[in-house]
């Protein structure tokens, strides 16, 4: 079976100017990432801010080209598709529903924009918009309002309706609940789950919130400094993480027990500079288990008890 999404050794390098005499810095935001997502599945991608999650999302959507490697969508090279073909196949839902919606346009017109870009107009357009507003749980009367008249949860439902109005088969969700209250987050997650089942969608779900990822994902990939350091089924990864970084992330989750506070997992406050990646294993300066070889030898991905792990010590 052809994977819905396959990323093969994808790299994205940015050149950052540091001044006339200093030259440019090269930032490898995504550095040799490979994974696949089966049709109808949901891959959750987690990691600290700056690890490359959002850059990876833009590579998958075709909003940025890869510096090397490739992205395949249903067996087709994304780089070979035109914009309209990509839009019919894969759509995004971004973090902030307010900034991603035109504040001056009516909700009905916002949801219709992808249809207009494909040349779908008139009654066909109106029917599709109304159908999608109902499917995401919004009353038809909301179509005549503007985003400022809606709550945060309603605006995110509009963003989801706009993403799905072309009936794509793949959706990339980049922190789609992080700007919402906890109770509203649960409603949006349940809606996304329901839509995936009913419409047969495939998701890539990017978040820093481990609880959210655990709730919605079939598989989880953990990113660190542009690399995927661990990939596994959700239950397996949360029950028995293999990579020291994954273990530290899971240990940092707050518990409901009073008085325990925020656990100290030894990662420190500063994320390494992505333009100055440590030699060897890039996690070794923050790893409690690091040995001398970790500063010299870069780990390669290998299978460990059903987990795909980049670590010399596992």
The pLDDT of residue 50: 87
Residue 236 lies in a domain: yes
Contact indicator for 137, 157 with CB cutoff of 8 Å: yes
Contact indicator for 65, 71 with CB cutoff of 8 Å: no
Q: How far is CA 193 from the centre of its chain?
A: 15
What SS3 state is found at 7? strand
Q: Domain range spanning residue 298? A: 5-309
Q: What CA–CA distance (Å, rounded) separates 129 from 143?
A: 9
The pLDDT of residue 260: 47
CATH classification at residue 48: 3.40.50.300
Q: What CA–CA distance (Å, rounded) separates 191 from 135?
A: 9
Structural domain total, the chain: 1
Chunked in runs of 10, what are the mean pLDDT values of the chain (314 residues)?
91 82 81 96 94 95 96 95 94 82 91 95 95 92 91 93 96 88 90 96 94 94 96 97 94 58 59 86 93 95 95 93
Contact indicator for 31, 24 with CB cutoff of 8 Å: no
CB-side neighbour CA atoms (13 Å) of 155 = 23
Residue 153 lies in a domain: yes
The pLDDT of residue 49: 87
The four Cα atoms 212, 38, 137, 101 give a dihedral, to 10 degrees, of 80
**Listed residue (114, 113, 65) closest to 85, CA to CA:** 114
Q: What CA–CA distance (Å, rounded) separates 248 from 48?
A: 11
CB atoms near residue 76 (< 10 Å): 14
Residue 314 lies in a domain: no
CB atoms near residue 204 (< 10 Å): 28
The pLDDT of residue 256: 47
Residue 293 lies in a domain: yes
Angle between helices 107-117 and 122-135 (to 10 degrees): 120
In the DSSP assignment, the letter for residue 215 is: H
Helices (H) and strands (E) in the chain, counts: 9, 12
**CA-derived radius of gyration, the chain:** 21
**Listed residue (15, 3, 60) closest to 33, CA to CA:** 60
Cα angle value 88/94/98 (rounded, 5°) = 115
**Listed residue (56, 54, 8) closest to 30, CA to CA:** 56
Q: What CA–CA distance (Å, rounded) separates 62 from 187?
A: 29
**Listed residue (165, 167, 164) closest to 176, CA to CA:** 164
What SS3 state is found at 156? helix
């Amino acid at each position: 079976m052809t994977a819905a999404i396959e990323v093969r050794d994808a790299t994205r390098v940015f050149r950052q100017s540091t001044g006339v005499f200093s030259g440019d810095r090269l930032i490898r935001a995504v550095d040799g990432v490979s994974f696949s997502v089966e049709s109808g599945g949901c891959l959750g991608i987690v990691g600290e801010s700056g690890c490359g999650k959002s850059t990876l999302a833009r590579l998958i959507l075709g909003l940025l080209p890869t510096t090397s490697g490739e992205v395949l969508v249903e067996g087709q090279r994304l780089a070979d598709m035109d914009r309209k073909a990509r839009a019919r196949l894969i759509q995004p839902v971004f973090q902030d529903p307010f900034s991603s919606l035109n504040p001056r346009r009516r909700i009905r017109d916002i949801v219709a924009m992808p249809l207009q870009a494909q040349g779908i107009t008139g009654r066909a357009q109106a029917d599709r918009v109304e159908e999608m507003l109902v499917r995401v749980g919004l009353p038809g009367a909301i179509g005549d309002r503007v985003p400022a008249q809606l709550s945060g949860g309603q605006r995110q439902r509009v963003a989801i309706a706009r993403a799905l109005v072309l009936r794509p088969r793949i959706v990339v969700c980049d922190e789609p609940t992080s700007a919402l209250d906890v109770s509203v987050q649960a409603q949006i997650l349940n809606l996304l789950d329901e839509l995936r089942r009913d419409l047969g969608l495939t998701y890539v779900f990017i978040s820093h919130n481990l609880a959210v990822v655990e709730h919605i994902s079939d598989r989880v990939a953990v990113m660190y400094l542009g690399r995927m350091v661990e990939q596994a089924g959700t239950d397996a990864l949360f029950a028995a993480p293999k990579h020291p970084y994954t273990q530290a992330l899971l240990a940092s989750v707050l518990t409901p027990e009073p008085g325990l506070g925020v656990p100290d997992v030894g990662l420190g406050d500063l994320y390494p500079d992505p333009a100055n990646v440590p030699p060897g294993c890039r996690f070794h300066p923050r790893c409690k288990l690091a040995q001398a070889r970790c500063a010299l030898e870069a780990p390669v991905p290998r299978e460990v008890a059903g987990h795909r792990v980049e670590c010399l010590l596992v």
